Structure 1
Amino acid sequence: MHKSWMLPFIVAGLAAIGVAMLGATITDLGPWYQALDKPDWTPPDPVFGIAWTVIFALAAIAGVASWRAAPNTRVSDTIIGLFALNGFLNILWSLIFFRMQRPDWAFAEMILLWLSVGALMLFCGRYSRLAALALLPYLAWVTIAGALNWQVIELNGPFG
C-alpha cells in the first residue's frame, strides 16, 4: 500500500495543532478572566482543553474526509479555504475576548465562527457524511461557548 494517503492527515493534523497552539497562546486565564462573574454552569477550566483537543482532532478528520471526497480541485480548494477561514475566526475570538478583553465584540465574532462551522458542515457534508458528523461536536461546543460568552456580557458588562 502506498503511504501517500497519510500526507493529508499529517497536514490536517499540523494545521489543527497550529490553530490550537495559537489559540492557547492568546488565551489568558489570568486575573482579568478570573475576576469575571461567570454563570454557575460554566465547565471547569480543564474541560475546555479536553473539548478543544477532541474538536480539533475531529475537524482534521472532517477536513481530510471531505477533501479526499471532493470531485475536483475547485471543490477541494473551497474546502481548504473554508477550514482556513474557520481557523482564523477561532483564533480571532480568543484574541478579542482574552487579549482585547472585549466579550461584547467577541460575541459578535462568535456568531461568525458559528456560521463558519455551519458552512463547513453543509459544504463538506455534500461530499462526506463523515465530515458533517465529525463537525457536529464543534457546532455544539461553539453554541455552548456562545451562550457562556453572552452570560459573561450579561453578568459583567458594559465593556470598554
Structure 2
Amino acid sequence: MAWFALPLFILLSLGGGGLVGLAVETGGWYAALEKPGFNPPNWVFGPVWTTLYILIGIAGWRVWRIGDQPLQGLWWTQLILNFAWTPIFFAAQQLLVAFGVILALDAMIVVFVVNAWRNERIAALLFLPYALWTSYATILNVSLWWMNA
C-alpha cells in the first residue's frame, strides 16, 4: 500500500516546485543582473531542479513510510523553505532576504541528512545532490546580491 504514495510525494515536490517556478517571472529583471563567471546558463536550471525534486520526493516518501515524525517535520520544513526562496528572490527581488532563506534551507538539508543517516540512509543519500546544488546556489545567491547591491 505504501508504494501508492510514492507518486504523490514526487508530484508534491516536482509539481510544487514547478508551480512556484511558473508563477514567478524570472526573465527581465534577472537577465539584467550582473552575474559572476560561474553563473550557469538558464537552460541548466530546469533539468537540475527536475532531477532534484524527484529525489526530494522519493526521500520524503521513504521517511513517511517508516513513520519517523521528526524526520518528516524536517522534510516538510526544507520543502517550505525551498518553495519560499523563488518568490522572495525573483518576485520580491530581495536577494539578501533570499540569501537568509537559502542559508536556512542549507541548514535544514544538512540536519535532514544527519538525522536520516541513522534510520533511513537511502533518503539521506538522495539528499546529497540537493545539498551540493543548494550550496552552489547559496554562493550564487550571495554573489548576485554582492555584485548588484
TM-score (norm 1): 0.86
Match of 1:130 in 2: 122
- Please, which moves more after superposition, 18-27 or 84-93? 18-27
Report SS of the residue matched to 1:40: coil
1:64-112 Cα deviation digits (max 9, x unpaired): 22333x3xx4x2x333322221111011111110011011111011110
Alignment of 1:62-141 (within 5 A): 62-68=59-65, 70=66, 73=67, 75=68, 77-141=69-133
Report the AA paired with residue 15 of structure 2. G
8 A Cα contact 2:14 2:57, kept in partner? no
How far apart are 1:28 and its partner, in Å?
2.1
Structure 1 gap segments, 5+ residues each: none
8 A Cα contact 1:82 1:116, kept in partner? yes
- Please, which moves more after superposition, 106-115 or 117-126? 117-126
Structure 2 gap segments, 5+ residues each: none
> Given the alignment, which residue of 2, 6, 17 partners 2:3?
6
Rg larger for: 1
Match of 1:42 in 2: 39
Partners of 2:75 and 2:22 lie apart in 1 by 20
Percent of residue pairs identical:
32
> Given the alignment, which residue of 127, 130, 144 partners 2:136?
144
Query: How large is the RMSD of aligned CA atoms in angstroms?
Result: 1.5
1:40-61 Cα deviation digits (max 9, x unpaired): 1111111111111111111112
8 A Cα contact 1:97 1:103, kept in partner? yes
Q: How many residues align?
A: 149
Which stretches of structure 1, 4 residues or longer, exceed 3 Å deviation after superposition?
none
8 A Cα contact 1:63 1:79, kept in partner? no
TM-score (norm 2): 0.91
- Please, which moves more after superposition, 136-145 or 120-129? 120-129
